Amino acid sequence: MKFGKELKSQMVPEWQDAYMDYGFLKTLLKDIQHFRHKTMPPPAHPPGLPRALTHYRAFSGLTSLKRSISMRSASGRQHHHEDLESQAILVNNVKKTNGEVGYQTTFLRASEDGGEYELVYFKRLDDEFNKVNMFYRAKVDEVMKEADELNRQMNALIAFRIKVENPKHAWFDTSENMDHLVSAVESSNKELSASISSFGRRHSIAEHMDQIDEDKSVKMTRSKSSTSSDRYSKEAKQLINQVVPEVTITGRPASLDILNRVTINRPADTPLPTIKGVLNVPVQTDMKFSSENLSKIEEQLKRAFTEFYHKLRLLKSYSFLNILAFSKIMKKYDKITSRNASKSYLKTVDNSYIGSSDEVITKLLDRVEATFIKHFANANRKKGLGTLKPKAKREKHRVSASLGFFAGCTVALVFAVILTIRTRNLFEKEGADRYMETMFPLYSLYGFIVLHMLFYAGNIYFWKKYKINYQFIFGFKAGTELGYREVLLVSFALSVLALASIHGNLDMEMDPKTKDYKQLTELVPLILLILAFAVLICPFNIIYRSSRYFFLTCAVHVFLAPLYKVVLSDFFVGDQLTSQVQAFRSIEFYFCYYSSGDFKYREHNCNKNDAYNTFSYILAAIPFWWRMLQCVRRFFEEKDAIQGWNSLKYFSIVVSFVTRTAYSKNNSTEWYIIAWVTSVVAGVVATYWDIVFDWGLLNRKSTNPWLRDKLLVPYRSVYFAAIALNVLLRFSWIQLVLDLKVSFLHRQTMIAIIAVLEIIRRGVWNFFRLENEQLNNAGKYRAFKSVPLPFNYEDDEDDD
């Protein structure tokens, strides 16, 4: 694989704009090469020598190594003088207007033919280098601040752990352990002084992380007793006081005074704190030294360390890839121009911030590993690294084999159902209408769910293809997210169960003795529903438990809106539920059909029940009501006016459902006009919001007219087709308002088709919605989740 493609494949998607633009620099080099080929064509080979001249030179590579080394060393000064005379560039430090230090290259051969091309190349090269260097510096500063905060959190955790596990026992005897502590500090000082002496604050923080690993355990091993406290350097003592403020140098047992300066953070992301916040009930932040609280605190810090470690790894990869890219591009330049400019430029790269601070990140990575293993993995290295470095998901052959099996069974069962209906002329018999009114709504539920899952699998496939980091956007735990094959497997397995049960229900003959329909046959849809729900809530680690529980958690957050803090995965699930209105009505029909006992006779009177009909319309509006409440909470929490307008959009849809319900109960002209006006307004507002806000399109001043500046799909026609499809499918409900009759379609079939069209619209919406989210994250370089920390220092509150 060429380096350009390799670089693109290993980029952090959200940082893509911060990487060196290797492709564009290559195009500039191609311009230089093209000019040189036109003005200075390469000499032809001498006639009669079909091979390159190097094939006819004497071979002495294995025997003349020492001689060549001695010759080079003897003529070193002469070559150095010649290099100075023949160098093509000079790289200087310059101070920019914003105070940042950058690099500027002076090209010394600008007067030569084609020199203007090389001037353009070095100007762009400097821009890319300064961009990369500044971005890396900013990210390293962020990392160091987080390391400092994690250090303080660990101080509080260890004190809390002592208080819970062994409150009456001294932490450790400093008179016998300070030697070990100081020796570790001094050795770390010597180790880092050569490489990071110019980075100031980062030096002490890297040491902090070292001490978290080596010196802050509840049960410290005893080292050799010594009276070498007089040998402690002033710097070491200061560092000890910074790292372990609760330990005194005099040798007395460690105090737990740090617990007097911290409080417990209790974010209002659960119902109880939310309710207390609304009622102005003060949140309790007092320390409760219990094993349960300790477990919660450890779990929070465990997630924080895992995310921090992931950030360090990506930062290290960013540094390595960009330095390698500069090396590659400069070597290409030397090859094309026959100059020796790469040596001096790459020396500047090595001496720059990004080139010389790599050891700090490496040191932090080692310390985080050691700290995590010691404090969160019970000193089990394999377990600790397994959590910090989750293995990438590997495609399993059994998944593909099972997928193929269930897909084949689905196709076979579909054809079997069609052939059974055609050969037995079931829809021409007397019971056909009764079947469509009773059994079809029951089985259509599975069709809606399977179709939605198929589109979700397609979304995953295209999200991966176009580098949309859906795992990070949704907040999936690393290694637990489902790929499109797993989603297809589940959907086809459910479709096989549903189609098989339809086969068991297609016999529309009555029992010859009782003249009633067989109860067991009529109970098949209910049994299948109970089985599907049991699998969904199954506590055993089977059938993708983590994904099932993730969905259930999001669903609970949606049902209890606005009591939970709203994250993207929650409102994304809420949006999916708004497209499954007919599925909610099918579930309502399940309750009515089986609770009334009508299933024994394959008939129902639900449609004649006013309460049932009214609740059917309420069910249609409930998902939109949930979304409106989510937007209201985000409006008050984030102070974002967009969320306020979004809540009004969902409110308009709820109003349209209410007016349509009123019109269905009272077929007056006034209600007819009101229903039409509210429905059209809601449809227009929702369509505009989909395209402009959720997809970020219809930007007239964009570089891609009427779309947006950045497009992940290379074909603009796809976006215009999606816009047209969204508009068309958004107004498919008009058929239900007009109550148009299609002679060859049953009413239930028409309702199912409208529901299917809405699911298709939602499937298309999903892709472009996450594409826009990915671009927003990339625009703000958001590549990591924000993990709440358990402790809050009182001095931080005073500073605020």
- How confident is the model at residue 49, as a pLDDT? 45
Q: Mean per-residue pLDDT for 213-237?
A: 37
pLDDT of residue 663: 79
What digits encode the pLDDT tens for the residues 68-90? 444 444 444 444 444 544 577 88
Name 630's bridge partners.
Answer: none
Written as one string, the DSSP assignment of 617-650 is HHHHHHHHHHHHHHHHHHHHHH--HHHHHHHHHH
The pLDDT score that the predictor gives to residue 737 is 61
d(CA 188, CA 53): 55
Distance CA 645, CA 631 (A): 9
Residue pair 330/345 in contact by the 8 Å Cβ criterion: yes
- Is the model's pLDDT at 213 over the cut of 50? no
Q: Which two tokens stand for residue 336?
A: 């094309």
Please report, for residues 94, 415, 462, 521, 579, the alpha-carbon distance to residue 524 in angstroms, rounded to integers and kept in the order given.
78, 21, 36, 6, 26
Residue whose pair of structure tokens reads 């010859």 in the numeric block: 512
CA–CA separation, 789 vs 543, rounded Å?
32
- Tell me which residue of 630, 462, 481 sits closest to 548, measured CA to CA: 481
Q: What is the pLDDT of residue 741?
A: 66
Predicted TM-score (pTM) of this structure: 0.79
pLDDT (mean) for 541-565: 92
With 0-12 / 13-18 / 19 or more C-beta atoms within 10 angstroms meaning exposed / middle / buried, residue 326 is buried
- Asked whether residue 191 carries a pLDDT value surpassing 60, the answer given is no
Least confident of 113-122, 284-293, 343-352, 583-592: 284-293
pLDDT of residue 268: 60
- What rounded mean pLDDT belongs to the chain? 79
Q: Answer whether residue 240 shows pLDDT above 80.
A: no
Q: Three-class SS string for 495-555? A: HHHHHHHHHHHCCCCCCCCCCCCCHHHHCHHHHHHHHHHHHHCCCCCCCCHHHHHHHHHHH
The whole-number average pLDDT for the span 288-293 is 83
Cβ-proximal residues to 750 (8 Å cutoff; 6+ apart), any chain = 735, 742
pLDDT band at 427 (very low <50, low <70, confident <90, very high): confident
Select the highest-mean-pLDDT range: 93-97, 247-251, 338-342, 757-761: 757-761
What CA–CA distance (Å, rounded) separates 770 from 207?
41
Single out the residue of 412, 388, 394 nearest to residue 305, CA to CA: 388
pLDDT over threshold 60, residue 106: yes
What is the token pair recorded at 548? 């099932």
Residue 310: enclosing H or E segment and its boundaries?
helix 291-337
pLDDT digits (tens, 9 = 90+) for 688-723: 999 999 999 999 888 999 999 999 999 999 999 999
More confident residue, 283 or 542: 542
Residue 185 has pLDDT above 80, yes or no: no
DSSP category for residue 571: H
Which token pair is 39?
């003005």
More confident residue, 786 or 22: 22
Peptide bond into 562 cis (omega under 30): yes
Measured distance CA(364)–CA(313) in Å, rounded: 10
Round to whole Å and give the CA distance between 336 and 29: 8
Q: Which of 84-88, 213-217, 558-562 has the highest mean pLDDT?
A: 558-562
- In this predicted structure, the answer to whether residue 246 has a pLDDT above a threshold of 50 is no
3-class DSSP assignment, residue 656: helix
Among residues 618, 593, 619, 617, the alpha carbon closest in space to that of 605 is found at: 593
Question: If you average pLDDT over residues 473-501, what whole number do you get?
Answer: 92
Return the pLDDT at 325: 93
How large is the C-alpha radius of gyration of the chain?
34
What pLDDT was estimated at residue 176? 39
**What confidence score (pLDDT) does residue 86 get?**
59
Give the pLDDT band of residue 746 (cuts 50, 70, 90).
Answer: confident
Give, for 793, the enclosing helix (H) or strand (E): strand 791-793
Residue 224 has pLDDT above 50, yes or no: no
Q: DSSP secondary-structure letter at 105?
A: E
Number of Cβ within 10 Å of residue 120's Cβ equals 14
Higher local confidence (pLDDT), 43 or 701: 701
* Lowest-pLDDT choice from 47-61, 120-134, 614-628: 47-61
pLDDT in tens, 341-377: 888 899 999 998 898 888 888 889 999 999 999 889 8
Mean of pLDDT values over 743-750 = 80
- How confident is the model at residue 510, as a pLDDT? 61
Which of the residue ranges 353-362, 399-408, 412-421, 586-595 would you say has the lowest mean pLDDT? 353-362
**Segment among 109-113, 398-402, 594-598 with least mean pLDDT:** 109-113
Which among 456, 475, 468 has a CA at the least distance from the CA of 759? 456
